[in-house]
């Protein structure tokens, strides 16, 4: 009898809790740019590149529970100090995040969504690099959870620093 009451209580609590749903609506390439400033001169050099990768994430609320997330990647490849090629990719997706709010929503939009978009961006980069007649880059995976945690910690430190300077004044 007690088990039935516990089960009924759990069912009622689940019915009262806001329904959380996350879904991918669409993934698309929003922007792509490739530059090889040295042209054919780059092919006559020994291939020992220095690869620099920059990541940014931009989120836009489209309506109610619909969000566009854009993973912006810039990859610069240099031989010595000269740029061999530069690629900019904006890989985007439209996501539904129903019943997810506050810090949880920020975490989903800045970690889960980029994790979904990253393989598409990496593939777009490799395809363009190969079409440019360069060796594939094989970019390593990115830990978006760690990047988000660092950004949150940095924001908290800045907030504490601002609060401390207001207290002093």
pLDDT in tens, 123-169: 999 999 999 999 988 898 999 999 999 988 888 888 877 766 665 55
Neighbours of 28 (CB within 10 A): 13
CA distance 139 to 129: 12
Q: Where are the domains of the chain?
A: 19-164
What's the fold here for domain 19-164?
Bacterial Protein-export protein SecB (3.10.420)
Residue 33, pLDDT score: 97
3-state secondary structure of 17: coil
9-18, 24-33, 119-128: segment of lowest average pLDDT = 9-18
pLDDT at site 42: 85
pLDDT for position 7: 62
Which run of H or of E encompasses 144?
helix 144-168
Tokens of 40: 């054919």
pTM: 0.80
Task: Give the model confidence (pLDDT) of 78-92 as tens digits.
Answer: 998 899 999 999 999
At residue 66, the pLDDT reads 96
Cα(2)–Cα(117) distance, integer angstroms: 47
pLDDT bracket for residue 5 (50, 70, 90): low
DSSP-assigned letters across all residues of 94-135: EEEEET--HHHHHHIIIIIHHHHHHHHHHHHHHHHHHHTTS-
pLDDT-based confidence at 2, cuts 50/70/90? Answer: low
Beta bridge partners of 82: 79
């Amino acid at each position: 009898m007690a088990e039935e009451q516990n089960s009924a209580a759990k069912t009622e609590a689940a019915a009262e809790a806001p329904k959380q749903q996350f879904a991918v609506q669409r993934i698309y390439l929003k922007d792509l740019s490739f530059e090889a400033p040295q042209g054919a001169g780059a092919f006559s050099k020994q291939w020992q590149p220095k690869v620099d990768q920059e990541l940014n994430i931009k989120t836009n609320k489209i309506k109610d529970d619909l969000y566009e997330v854009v993973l912006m990647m810039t990859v610069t490849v240099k031989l010595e100090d000269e740029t061999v090629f530069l690629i900019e990719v904006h890989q985007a997706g439209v996501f539904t995040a129903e019943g997810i709010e506050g810090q949880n929503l920020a975490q989903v939009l800045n970690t889960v969504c980029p994790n979904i978009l990253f393989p598409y961006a990496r593939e777009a980069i490799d395809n363009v690099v190969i079409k440019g007649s360069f060796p594939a880059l094989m970019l390593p995976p990115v830990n978006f959870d760690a990047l988000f945690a660092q950004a949150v910690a940095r924001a908290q430190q800045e907030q504490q620093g601002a609060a401390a300077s207001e207290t002093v004044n």
